[in-house]
Structure 1
Amino acid sequence: MKPEALTPPPPRDGINPSRVRVRPGEPGTVLAFLQARFPHATDWPERLQQQAVLNAAGQPVQAATPCPAGTLLWYWRRPAAPEPRVPFEVVVLHRCERLVVVDKPPFLAVTPSGRHLQETVLVRLQQQLGLRDLSPLHRLDRDTAGVLAFSADPATRPAYQALWRERQVHKVYEAVVHWREGLAFPFTARHRLVEPQGEGAAFHQMQVAPGEPNAETLVELLQGPDALEPATVPGAAPGRAVALLRLTPVTGRKHQLRAQLAALGLPIVGDRVYPVLQPEGPDDFARPLMLLARRLAFQDPVDGSARAFESQLVTFQACLNPEASGLASAPSARR
């Protein structure tokens, strides 16, 4: 038996390969196994003919090839339906042998997951830059725009990952929110956020719960309702004032900024999850979530230099004025 490949096969169409291992008792040929393990995929005969299923040694396998328990196979995921292209570009703010930092547009997922495979930041960068070893150092929601950092060097990746794990990264966001009176700025928002479990739980929605806070954010007012005209903000609720906030999170909980602001009565304009989860539908590219990861700063763990990266996007002009925001007309890669 040939030894397993130490590294996965290269990406195809920007998609990294997935792997699956045969368990005892599963069907004994490659085609029968794949059809039983992944019954939702009906194109396995076509994939096998296209040599899109490989064994552990990286060699194509045939439909009738035996696959006893323990066999490892590589394959590439395919979207169930053609993915609509997100009409905004990923702009490279910094590139060196260790790091790639980009301005992520809204509506673009960071990595392949679920129904989003090729329309992701990672796949676009791999195709544009030819860097197979790119890996995100942190996450932004698909709806959130702004500064996003990737590791380009597996050898130094753990040192950079430790910065996020140990909260050594200074992050600043901006958000256009629906206004409410009665708050004195600046203030620190502290909440306990939990993800509901069990049947009937709101999908993807974090909830504020009693108990010790686990989410902390400094909230500052940049422009009040007297300085912003709601009619110029895509997605703003009719008749409701808006304001621009600066947000400096201390912790990094899932959906932290969105959930905390909604709990404070300051929901972010364009948010389809908070405070009320809306039905899933096609993206409205003219109405993005008005949340921007503005700045990222840290001390480089490899050379000790001070690193700081700032988004060139303008939060509340993201779709109203694409040329000013840099979303639609920016070059796809910039050194």
Structure 2
Amino acid sequence: MCSRHTAAPLPMRDGVAPSYLWLPDGQWPDMLSFLLERYPQISAAQWRDRMARGEVVNGDGAVLAPDSPYRRGMRIFYYRELERETPIPFQEAILFQDEHLIVVDKPHFLPMTPAGRFVQETLLTRLKKNLDCAELTPIHRLDRETAGVVIFSRQVASRGAYQSLFQRREVRKTYEALAPVLAGRDFPFIYRSRMVEGEQFFLMREEAGEPNSETIIEVIEERGDVNLYRLQPHTGRKHQLRVHLASLGIPIVNDAFYPVALPCKEDDMSQPLQLLARAIDFTDPLSGEPRHFESRRSL
């Protein structure tokens, strides 16, 4: 069963929990004026419609109207809505579940959580809706472009115990990737570098200095012009595996970000990034038993 949490005054709707916002300092004549300035992409008619439906409320659950006074420090709740959302035609698969965890085999292209132009078509929303589990929370994350094993917590009481495993790097994650042949290296080997945020917010880059990222790289099999590599990251930097292989001159097949960010392909899902989170291993902090979860997908 999933734990229940009733702090939010609006219920989960279609697998989506309400968003909330603490009202900042400022002078606005009413709530509608503030919302229009804060979210210019949402029209006055849309906000009036949401408010008429009782879907914009304060922390006590009182419905807010367009002319409700603006009060600094108040917390408001509302639902994110998108007029059009691209369907993701790939399905997740549940590999394991018990009272504490749900382990999922994520497909390529499916975002983990609601953000940007995806709300319903995200792994978290799909699971919440299908399992009726409002408190489901990912313990770690995969890029939208990456497929494979990812773990969710379904109990608030035990969530910290599992999260701390990742924080202490006591989880062994194994990935597989298709990338060009790397000549002149003995496998396996360890690649280290210093990774920092790039000039574009969604990218990472390497710079000189003390390494803060480390990956073990080995070859599983040769496939003509490409190899199937096994990658074991000892750190969890954003896009770490993609940056490391691109820096070695062997960018992962179909990587649209590294070494060069290509024009956005929007809804083109014909060329998935050839990166798979193959397996996760750890010692369960509650039972002390070894855990091993493995993707059923292949590259």
TM-score, with normalisation over the residues of structure 1? 0.83
Structure 1 range deviating more: 19-28 or 242-251: 19-28
> 1:105 is matched with which residue?
107
8 Å CA contact 1:27–1:36 kept in 2: the answer is no
Which residue of 117, 121, 124 maps to 1:122? Answer: 124
Letter in 1 for 2:11: P
Match of 1:34 in 2: 35
Moved more, 130-139 or 38-47: 38-47
Give the match for residue 74 of structure 1: 77
CA shift, 1:18, in A, is 1.3
Misfit runs of 4+, over 3 Å: 5-8
Tell me, what secondary structure is at the counterpart of 1:175?
A: strand
Matched residue, 2:158? 156
User: 1:232-274 CA distances to partner (integer Å, 9 max, x unpaired)?
Assistant: xxxxxxxxx1110001111111100000000011110010001
Match of residue 320 from structure 1 = none
Pairing of 1:56-67 with structure 2 (within 5 A): 56-67=59-70
Cross-structure match for 1:261: 245
* TM-fit CA distance, 1:69: 2.5
Taking the aligned partners of 2:200 and 2:31, their CA distance within structure 1 comes to 39
Given that 2:10 and 2:55 are in contact with CA atoms closer than 8 Å, whether structure 1 keeps it comes out as no
What is the CA-CA distance between 1:97 and the residue it aligns to? Answer: 1.0
Aligned to 1:293: 277
Q: Higher strand share goes to which structure?
A: 2
Secondary structure of 1:83's aligned partner = coil
Q: What CA distance in whole angstroms lies between the structure 2 residues aligned with 1:164 and 1:255? A: 17
The reply to whether residue 222 of structure 1 matches residue 220 of structure 2 is yes
State how many pairs are aligned.
Answer: 292
CA contact (8 A) 2:212 2:235 kept: yes
Give the corresponding residue for 1:90: 92
Tell me the SS of whatever aligns to 2:244: helix
CA shift, 1:62, in A, is 2.1
2:193 matches 1:209: no
Q: What residue number does 2:49 align with?
A: 46
The offset of 1:67, in angstroms, is: 3.3
| Structure 1 pair 282–6 and aligned structure 2 pair: CA distance change class (3 A) | closer
Other-structure match for 2:188: 186
Instruction: Give CA-to-partner distance per residue, 1:255-294, whole Å, 9 cap, x none.
Output: 0000000001111001000111001122332210000000
Of 267, 285, 290, 1:283 maps to 267
For structure 1, the residue ranges without an aligned partner over 5 or more in a row are 230-240, 316-335
Could you say which residue in structure 2 is the equivalent of 1:313?
A: 297
Amino acid at match of 1:255: H
Name the CA shift for 1:293/1:154 in 2 (closer, same or farther; >3 Å). same
TM-score relative to the length of structure 2:
0.93
Provide the residue aligned with 1:321 in structure 2: none
Tell me, yes or no, if the aligned pair for 1:261 and 1:268 is still in contact at 8 Å: yes
* Deviation for aligned residue 1:184: 1.8
> Which residue of 2 is the match for residue 165 of structure 1?
167
CA distance in 1, matches of 2:13, 2:268: 29
Q: Distance in 2 between matches of 1:293 and 1:118?
A: 23
Which runs of 5 or more structure 2 residues have no equivalent in the other structure? Answer: 1-5
Percent of pairs identical after alignment?
Answer: 44
* In the alignment, structure 1 residue 272 sits paired with structure 2 residue 263: no
